[in-house]
Amino acid sequence: MRGKVENLTASILKPGFGSDALHIGQSEAEVIAVLGKPESRTRKYKGQYFYNYPLRGLEVDFGERGGSVKYIFYFRGGIRGNRQAEVVTDVGVAPGDVRDKVLQLLGPPDERGAPVTLHSGTRFGEWFRYRSGINFQFGDDGRVDMITITWPISQ
């Protein structure tokens, strides 16, 4: 990892935690200290309060205003208007990698879901969830569109 907190280039993601600079459990003030002011904020649904950083290819969900980081979403370039997130997991998976690489490096997921299209036309791709605190969503081309870091799920 790089020594400067403000530069998240090539950040290493650890399941159930995040990176040294940006991780689960941080406050809004801590996230702003690392990433700066968000490009936008989203609060569409109860229990979600996002800081959006599309130029960095990421979104941070605090759950509610004044909350702590619950989820960190890292995107493949072009997904939901985001640039490519400059991250890689601790085992070597990055946004844009193929599904088979995820399976080879992490094994079978603890949960998985098939692609689905909502009545609104919004499409969600196939997804894998690992109890260690990392999820992957895939595009129709079988590549990782989004890596999500969350709290680990106890067994």
Domain boundaries, given as residue ranges, for the chain:
11-150
pLDDT of 2 reads: 35
Whether the CB-CB separation of 153 and 133 falls below 8 Å is answered with yes
Identify the residue whose tokens are 């759950």.
63
Residue 61, pLDDT above cutoff 60? yes
pTM (2 d.p.): 0.90
Q: What is the pLDDT of residue 118?
A: 81
Q: Using one digit for the tens of pLDDT, what is the confidence trace for 63-96? A: 999 999 999 999 999 999 999 999 999 999 999 9
Q: Which residue has the tokens 């969350």?
A: 150
What does the pLDDT average to over 97-122? 92
pLDDT on residue 122: 74
Q: What are the tokens at 107?
A: 């094994």
Separation of alpha carbons 148 and 134, rounded Å: 6
